[in-house]
Structure 1
């Protein structure tokens, strides 16, 4: 599998213009001169693509869509598309992201198939910001401050549009929420070697952790990790109440904790009592 370390080699491979900078690259798509089919490749930087009337030949319906797509480092992506779309792209080095991480949202780590579908008004707003960004990018002296400010505005728009998508198309996300909750509730029906994590459920559902986490947060008003911790605590209290032969270490290992001390801290943080104190309180109430 090909792994592209920089904008220049990737752009040359797929037929995009040569970048003007090593840390940020802004441009417009010209599919008539681009590679339209490729086996999966990996890029060592972040890509945001805005594609209008885009047709993916591998899609079931083959209908054109207008959407924002993301590709992050170490995430393979292949394609087979029609040359009928237009659009824009923004490429950011890991160095730029790390230096300005506070400006960016989870979306940069979304997968290619976790797209944001845009309305006509939304794409027009994005075009305005993108045209301004391209103008400053084309200047002889690239102004990073201005460019990063526009990137921040762009990402903020994406955040608002994703919230709109989650709210206006709940049926498309209900199955993700229900599958997550079912997997979570069934987690302790089998022996486990670790406590449940967002990554574990994202892998099971073939989603990126950030995308899954944002969906769970939107529909439950709690983060994915908060939902997970609630189930872990519920299981812990059940074991402490119903299995008097298990000591705290046994309970910790039963839940998937590597260290009993970490379990005790986790338990106290969530319930305000240590496992030992909780069990004592339960026994006291049972005797009353």
Structure 2
């Protein structure tokens, strides 16, 4: 596997123009001059690629597509690539440093990795091309105009955000299995002894997705964040334990759900329900005319 820490070494490998800056690089793809087949690759920076009439030899039965692709740090392209030389396109490369210093400008889409290509309509290609042409103008003329350049980068990423929402809505059946698999994984988690509260990353790893990608799919189709869904499930389990086991101490309920500290469970429960576990149980018993045996 080849690891690339900077734009220069990656551009030389793939056959792109030399970057004008170490933190941001913008350019056009020229497949006739580029490496069309590679070994496994990992880059230590962010890449947004817009490719038109793109076709991979790895999936020969699929038709050429117009799409946005992402690469993020630590993502390994295990099979590399093997592509037809007929596509055109543009690319934007951003260092870890520039992302962290300007995180407010960027969305979670930069961390979708290879899980989700954004398929573009002709109108969307035209919109992106207009923004890109302005971006490359300021990149090539004076790289010191970072403020203007980053503004156009922000517009580009915002367009991608809007286009993703369109894609999610256009073919919801494509994403239904992700929602159902996430929900089933949550159920499965508590069908075994647990030692901690599950987090978003746990389920993302379980489903072979990035946390951001899973989170945006769940949010789009359920109007709740992934962590909200997890917390609601935990509260539902907690209520059931409190209702059906009158003699079960709060600490025992906490440990059963994976909380390391009972006090944290009580605070968590109070925040979600506006009652302490003890108050909730007493209220439940009073409403249902039950008394602890």
Q: TM-score range by the shorter chain?
A: over 0.9
Q: Does 1:34 align with 2:21?
A: no
Q: How far did 1:246 drift? A: 2.7
Distance in 1, matches of 2:30 and 2:139, equals 18
Q: How far did 1:40 drift? A: 2.2
Corresponding residue for 2:73? 73
Corresponding residue for 1:16? 16
Corresponding residue for 2:61? 61
Corresponding residue for 1:233? 235
TM-score by length of 1: 0.95
Distance in 2, matches of 1:258 and 1:39, equals 45
**Alpha-carbon distance change, 60 to 233 in structure 1, aligned in 2, over 3 angstroms:** farther
Q: How far did 1:216 drift? A: 0.8
Please tell me the root mean square deviation across aligned C-alpha atoms, in Å: 1.5
Structure 2 spans left out of the alignment, 5+ residues: none
Corresponding residue for 1:223? 225
Aligned partner (choices 107, 111, 129) of residue 105 of structure 1: 107
Distance in 1, matches of 2:115 and 2:273, equals 39
SS at match of 1:107: helix
Q: How far did 1:37 drift? A: 1.9
Written as runs of structure 1 = structure 2, the 5 A alignment for 1:1-288 is 1-59=1-59, 61-77=61-77, 78-287=80-289
Q: How far did 1:33 drift? A: 1.6
**Alpha-carbon distance change, 60 to 205 in structure 1, aligned in 2, over 3 angstroms:** farther
SS at match of 1:225: helix
Q: Could you list the runs of 4 or more consecutive aligned residues of structure 1 that deviate by over 4 angstroms after TM superposition?
A: none
User: Is this contact kept in 2: 1:55–1:82, CA < 8 A?
Assistant: yes
Which shifted more, 96-105 or 237-246?
Answer: 237-246
Distance in 1, matches of 2:115 and 2:251, equals 42
Q: How far did 1:60 drift? A: 6.0
**Alpha-carbon distance change, 141 to 179 in structure 1, aligned in 2, over 3 angstroms:** closer
User: Is this contact kept in 1: 2:57–2:82, CA < 8 A?
Assistant: yes
Distance in 2, matches of 1:141 and 1:224, equals 39
Distance in 1, matches of 2:194 and 2:40, equals 33
User: Is this contact kept in 1: 2:20–2:143, CA < 8 A?
Assistant: no
Distance in 1, matches of 2:115 and 2:82, equals 14
User: Across the two proteins, how many residue pairs are aligned to each other?
Assistant: 288
Which shifted more, 255-264 or 152-161?
Answer: 255-264
Distance in 1, matches of 2:143 and 2:211, equals 38
Deviation by residue 1:196-241 (Cα, 9 ceiling, x = unmatched): 2221221122111111111111111111111111111000111111
Q: How far did 1:25 drift? A: 0.2
User: Is this contact kept in 2: 1:69–1:113, CA < 8 A?
Assistant: no
Q: How far did 1:141 drift? A: 4.5
